Amino acid sequence: MTNEKKQQFTLRISKANKTDLIVVLYDMVLEYLEDARIAHASDDTDAFKEAIRKIRNCMQELIASLHFEYEVAANLLSLYIYVNKELVRASVHYDDDVLDHVESVIIKLRDAYSQISVNNHEEPLMQNTQNVYAGLTYNKNLMNEELFDDKPNRGLYV
């Protein structure tokens, strides 16, 4: 994952509510799947296994976020466990064919949560975050992002 993508995910996380965070995790999984494919195509075993490890970490976060008081959580858990097993199989056998199936499952789940997040108008989970303003400047094709800290202490006292 590029540093630019990491910054984009960081910004999205800082502005996300509960449902948006799940969508961000799915997007991160999809990004790491692409990294795994690129590593496999260039025959870089270590990078492939590292990408799979990062996907599995995201899956662990998704499992930890489940609320088992709802019936759908058990179904999601079994899907997450299945995806995790497939990822282990891909890592052990150095097989990128499994990644296509994992991607199809994640895309369907991501699309469902994305539709849910449109109707979720909760406040972002993180408070006291910096405001980010993005816009085009006078330079051709250059996008600048500016951070404005209108809360000087942001809740931190010594």
Provide the CATH number for the domain around residue 27. 1.20.120.340
The count of domains in the chain is 1
Mean pLDDT of all residues belonging to the chain: 83
pLDDT score recorded for residue 78: 96
Question: Tokens 């539709």 correspond to what residue?
Answer: 115
- Domain interval for residue 106: 3-119
What 3-state class would DSSP assign to 120? coil
Q: How confident is the model at residue 116 (pLDDT cuts 50, 70, 90)?
A: confident
Tell me whether residue 131 is in a domain. Answer: no
Tell me whether residue 142 is in a domain. Answer: no
Q: How confident is the model at residue 152 (pLDDT cuts 50, 70, 90)?
A: low
Tell me whether residue 60 is in a domain. Answer: yes
Tell me whether residue 103 is in a domain. Answer: yes
- Taking the model in full, what pTM does it have? 0.77
Tell me whether residue 129 is in a domain. Answer: no
* pLDDT (tens digit per residue) in 94-103: 998 999 999 9
Tell me whether residue 150 is in a domain. Answer: no
pLDDT score recorded for residue 8: 79
pLDDT score recorded for residue 141: 63
| C-alpha neighbours within 13 Å on the C-beta side of residue 63 | 14
pLDDT score recorded for residue 69: 93
Tell me whether residue 32 is in a domain. Answer: yes
Bridge partners (DSSP) listed for residue 145: 134
Question: Tokens 């992002």 correspond to what residue?
Answer: 145
Tell me whether residue 87 is in a domain. Answer: yes
Task: Flag whether pLDDT at 147 surpasses 70.
Answer: no
From 125, 96, 75, select the one nearest 32 (Cα to Cα): 96
